[in-house]
Amino acid sequence: MIQSHKTPFAPGKKMLDLLNENYSLLLFLQHFNVDFAVDNKSVGELCIENQINPGVFIVIGNLYNGFYPGKTEIENLNDIPSILKFLKNSHAFYKEDKYPELSEYLKILKQSQNRKDMDLIELFFHDYFK
């Protein structure tokens, strides 16, 4: 298990406290289509309000915080539609936001670097995203 100074997710934990410890959880919330204005809501309250399976939310949130689920936690994840929704939203973020951004950086690099090397890097990059 990765050593983490972050707090594990649990139904009673305040989402704001978790966000203060790990700002990358904002991206996690985005992938669940959760508004960033979490106020003083707990993880459980946020799940109820957004109709998210708490087990899925907690396991994936803990992954973001560096905690790997145990066998029992994985076996209890029986909400495939919630997992797929999260994965599709994550994929869309990279495809629609990150890929174009990285592609632009490659164009800038290509202008100032050895053209042959950059052609190979660019080919790998675009093949990877296909």
Q: What is the tens place of the pLDDT at every residue in 80-122? A: 999 999 999 999 999 999 999 998 988 888 888 777 778 888 8
- Residue environment code for 10-22, b if the CB has 16+ CB neighbours within 10 A, otherwise e: eeebbbeebbeeb
Within its chain, how far is the Cα of 117 from the centroid?
31
| Nearest Cα residue to 6 out of 59, 66, 58 | 66
Query: Position 32: which residue type?
Result: F
For 59-78, what is each residue's pLDDT tens digit? 999 999 999 999 998 888 88
What residue ranges do the domains of the chain occupy? 15-75, 80-129
Q: Does the structure show a pLDDT above 70 at 3? A: no
pLDDT at 4: 52
Report the C-alpha gap between 41 and 115 in whole angstroms. Answer: 52
* Distance spanning both ends of the chain, measured CA to CA: 32
- The angle at the Cα of 48, spanning 46 to 52, to the nearest 5 degrees, equals 85
